[in-house]
Copies of this chain bind each other. A is one copy, B any other.
Amino acid sequence: MKKSGKKDLALIVNNGPSYIAAAVFTRNKVCAAPVTLTKQNVSNGTIRAVIINSGNANACTGSTGLENAQAQADLTADALSISSEDIAVCSTGIIGEQLPMDTLAAGIPTVVHALDASADAGMNAAEAIMTTDTVAKTTFVSEPNFVVGGIGKGVGMMAPSLATMLCILATDAEITPDMAREALRNGSAQTFNTLDIDGTTSTNDTVILLANGSSGYRPTQAEINAAVLKACEDIACQLQADAEGVTKRVSITVTGAANDAEALVAARVVGRDNLFKCAMFGSDPNWGRTLAAVGMADAAMDPDNLSVVFNGHAVCTHSTPTADAKDVDLSGPDIAVSIDLGTGKTGTATVRTTDLSHQYVEINSAYHT
């Protein structure tokens, strides 16, 4: 499917004994055919295999696209001798072209035949789902009694939700579908949902957690939550570090908001502001643009009592600059920005983003349909 001849098809199979699964998806109203199909198939809490192609997103492809996603599931189910209702399908790549079904029909039996549980298998799968990613993303969380492993991809159109973010996690813990859903909801909320590279939300984003219970260990909700959160956190950091055109990794923490939800709204507005992001590219502690951005947020704030801190250095207090505001050094690759909304309340949230660089513009203007 990829003209480059690189790997473009990954298959993840749960060998049981149980086949628990949960998933979260893009919130975009324009969602891709594989998202529609996978939503339906995971609704009963069970998935036995995930087939993922890169190079073609099967998005904006109408009823033919839905038929093709179903055929992709059917081909996979046939080759594995399981029900096609137990298949999750993920696609990432170009929008608006039909899947090359002949190529897929030939490729699916090939990947089924090549299935293995070797140490290289995860990395091979992670490479097969890359698009403009420059590095493969994998994670492995080892708890005393169980493990969580996973692969991810995504470099742009993340809010969290295009160039498509995909993440498949697997655990040998013995958990119920409700526990899987809660662990994934909790983990995504604190990681993928607060990663905002360009404010753009994909048509295809999917995060899936598979659990086969093979460890025989039944973790508490808190235990599985913690392990899944670690895995999500690890993949999310790798997505941020490989974001399109990134030269700075920027974390924006808002405090002093009326509540956590408003803090998140305010952090997101700043994280999406192009002038702020250009300032970060220029290593410029531009608290003026920071205040101008946060002032547009639909969140309670005291306009005369806003504070801004860059990398632990206060640059603005009571909405006016500190004496040494210009002395902070932002030349390194990581920038931490803290903004206090001055309401006296304790609402807080953190969003991770990147700078807006020449390379971002180059990648996204040269990459033609």
Residues of A within 8 A of B (CB): 27-31, 57, 59-62, 64-65, 94-97, 156-157, 159, 162, 198-203, 272-275, 278-279, 281-282, 284-289, 291-297, 301, 303-304, 306, 316, 318-321, 325-326, 356-358, 360-369
Contacts and interface: CB of A to CB of B under 8 A. Distances in A.
Nearest to A161: B296
6 contacts: A156-B275, A159-B296, A200-B289, A284-B365, A326-B369, A358-B358
Nearest to A97: B321
B282 A60 contact: no
Nearest to A61: B320
A282 B198 contact: no
Nearest to A298: B29
Contacts of A200: 273-275, 289, 292-293, 296
A303 B29 contact: yes
B62 A287 contact: no
Given A30-B294, A162-B292, A361 B281 contact: yes
Contacts of A203: 288, 291-292, 295
Nearest to A280: B365
A198 B279 CA distance: 14
Given A28-B296, A162-B292, A275 B358 contact: no
A275 B156 CA distance: 9
B201 A320 contact: no
A337 to B, nearest CB: 14
A198 B319 contact: no
B96 A295 contact: no
A358 B361 CA distance: 6
A319 B62 contact: yes
A356 B326 CA distance: 28
A295 B62 contact: no
Contact of A320 (B60, B199, B292, B301): B60
A278 B29 contact: no
A251 to B, nearest CB: 19
A356 B285 CA distance: 22
Contact of A274 (B286, B294, B364): B364
Contacts of A294: 30
A369 B201 contact: no
Contacts of A325: 96, 369
Nearest to A299: B29
A318 to B, nearest CB: 6
Contact of A292 (B97, B157, B273, B274): B157
A349 to B, nearest CB: 18
Contacts of A64: 320
A316 B30 contact: no
